[in-house]
Amino acid sequence: MDVGIGSVLITGGAGFIGSHLAQALATKGCRVTVLDNLTSGHLENIKDFMKDITFVEGDIRDKDLLKKITQHCDVVFHQAAVVSVTKTVDDPVGSALVNELGTLAVLDAARQNNVKRVVLASSSAVYGDDPQLPKIESMPPNPLSPYAVQKLTNELYADLYNELYGMETVCLRYFNVFGPRQDPSSPYSGVISIFMRLATEGRTAVIFGDGEQTRDFVFVGDVVQANILAATGNAAGEIFNVGTGKAISVNALWALISRMAGDEQKPTYEPARAGDVMHSLAGVTKGYDRLMFQASVPLTDGLSQTLAWYRNHLTAQ
């Protein structure tokens, strides 16, 4: 299926979400360029379709490189970032150089080359610990980490470029994305990738707090679809949540994953981590009304696909 986009650049395209987006767009006939410095991305993620894309190893802070590879580009999908909240807490300045100045460099290269639209990956972290559920896009932001501040700053820059320069921008606030290729080896991985590795290896999970905290988990394939709709729909200057509108507790999640893995084990518990949000749930009305985006992969189906990938991946290591 042709999505009507000729040429795209995906920053962070060898990463977890970026590689899925690159594969989907290449399959749909787009000319795809992937830019990644391989800090957290992996060539393994794109090796199966490397012949169908152009891979450039480089950094989003390299303004000359960005200016070169955004020429003749219709859409930029900006996925590159320091994605760990913990890393941004440990190194707020270093992470801001990537997440803020790097994003600004991407936006400006796109402006200079008259790119039609830039779709930026933002985060539900901008909502902070506001107890209101679901989280809707019109809520006042309440960032509680350098990561959340950096993502919110990106949204402000995106809006500025849309208004001041007339370059179309769309920001997507991801909730808890999961799926194949999410790196299970990093201590900063999402909880599902960590649980998957533990269940596959027959080990039990450590849950911080009482495990009754809830999260809105959205499958990576649905996130790809949201990006494509954001690139092609009537959405310029807008911000959208990307989630399912459904939540599950961490306790129930571990029980489900360990049962699927065939080795049900009781988790152990440690004290809650400072700054952890108790409940998170995406409001999905705006995304459906404006983009016709609706997450379509049920949690159990997404977990099944992800578990199969982890089993193959860990066996091959």
Query: What was the pLDDT predicted at 315?
Result: 64
- Residue 48 in tokens: 């199966």
Terminal-to-terminal C-alpha distance of the chain: 35
183-222 per-position pLDDT tens digit: 877 656 789 999 999 998 899 999 999 999 999 999 999 9
What are the Cα distances from residue 266, in Å, to 199, 210, 258? 11, 13, 9
Summarised one tens digit per residue, pLDDT across range 32-68 is 999 999 999 999 999 999 999 999 999 999 999 999 9
Least-confidence region, from 100-104, 134-138, 145-149, 183-187 = 183-187
Asked whether residue 117 carries a pLDDT value surpassing 60, the answer given is yes
Largest CA distance in the chain: 56
Identify the pLDDT of residue 188. Answer: 60
Side-chain-side CA neighbours of 154 within 13 Å: the count stands at: 37
Active-site residue numbers? 147
Residue closest to 91 by CA, chosen among 159, 17, 32, 145: 145
Nearest to 143 by CA among 170, 163, 173: 173
Burial class (CB in 10 A: 0-12, 13-18, 19+), 158: buried
